[in-house]
Amino acid sequence: MNKRILELFQEFPEAYVSGEEISRRLNVSRTAIWKHIEELRSAGYEFEAAPRKGYRLRSKPNSWQVNELLSGLKTKVLGQKIHVYGEVESTQTIAHALIASGAPEGTIVLAEAQTAGRGRMGRTWHSPAGKGIWMSLVLKPRIPVYFMPQLTLLSAVALCRSIQKVCQVDIGIKWPNDLLIKGKKVSGILLESSGEDERLKYVVAGIGISVNLKREDYPEELRNIATSLAIESGTDIPRESLVQAFLLEFEDLYALYMEKGFAPIRLLWEALSVTLKRPIRTNTPSGVIEGIADSLDDSGALTVITQAGEKIKIYSGDIEL
């Protein structure tokens, strides 16, 4: 039915089509039409609804321009193998399966939409069609498992720097790897890994960037805490350019990390942080910690100084600023 509704709108490009007309032509009730329009909206189609006029198809969902993406890609390894999907549960799940069938380092998985996008700490990630970068990147670093937090911080630096290069926005990193604009989250990173003999076998770096979402694309409960690059910069951003910039930035930082270790990455992270030297609060299994976020240690843990002057390290979890 959704297909037939779209065909009908294609007959009247730019025009309003009344609910009555749709109902008569397709022989369905007005309630059923509304339900189908809502389904199409969540698949990325934008409709305007006007009283007494009906519906107008404003835009269709964007789709990934793979040739454009590949032709402008300046990396040697990352993104040289690309798998593109329409709607998937999670690009992470697909990347894990591709690794099991031999996908090499640098393989990326991109989707238009995710129905069960995974966030950190068991949360879900809102991933509507055609509006964002929902991507998983396959890495095979031969480093000890306990260096994973460093890779998380490296990913945040690569993401922050590439967004700064492509978009005019004032963006910073909240420990460990949330990207914020004016206090609202615009991007998140989820690293999933598998190890063997205390070394990493592979890492799937899941990158979610809310690129061209508009305010109405967010559910009510996210509107005050999440934002997009388009909302903040006032203009739509070509997703392909941002993926190219991110992969290049990541490849350069990854090479630097492999050669020189975490120290240079740590300096870059500190320069982009919106957390350090500010009061923070976090819930840990042993209770609430409040204090001033002081520094990052060599492993990527956050050192917090409490009011009593005690230094406490936080290794994982969420902080409130």
Residues binding ligand BTN (CB under 6 A): 90-92, 114, 117-120, 123, 125, 127, 134-136, 178, 188-190, 206-208
Shortest distance in whole angstroms from residue 96 CB to ligand BTN: 11
Three-class secondary structure of residue 314 per DSSP = strand
Structure tokens at 229: 């690059």
Phi, psi of 285 (to 5 degrees): -55, -25
User: Quick one: 250 exposed, middle or buried, by C-beta within 10 A (0-12, 13-18, 19+)?
Assistant: buried
Q: Is there a binding annotation on residue 24?
A: no
Nearest to ligand BTN of 117, 130 (CB atom): 117
120 is in an annotated binding site: yes
Give me the torsion for CA of 284, 175, 74, 133, rounded to 10°.
Answer: 70
Nearer to ligand BTN, 54 or 176 (CB): 176
Nearest distance from residue 139's CB to ligand BTN, in Å? 14
92 is in an annotated binding site: no
> Shortest gap between Cβ of 185 and ligand BTN (angstroms)?
7
Q: How far apart are CA 143 and CA 200, in angstroms?
A: 6
| Cβ-based nearer residue to ligand BTN, 136 or 212 | 136
The nearest distance, CB 61 to ligand BTN, in angstroms, is: 17
Instruction: Name beta bridge partners: 114.
Output: 88
Q: Which is nearer to ligand BTN, 36 or 120 (CB)?
A: 120
258 contacts: CB under 8 Å, gap ≥ 6: 141
Q: Is 114 annotated as a binding residue?
A: yes
Q: How far is the CB of 111 from ligand BTN (least distance, A)?
A: 8
| Residue showing the smallest CB distance to ligand BTN in the complex | 188
Query: Sheet containing 279-284: which strands, arranged edge to edge?
Result: 279-284, 287-296, 302-305, 311-314
Q: How far apart are CA 97 and CA 57, in angstroms?
A: 37
Give the residue numbers of the binding site for biotin: 114, 118-120, 185
Annotated binding site: 114, 118-120, 185
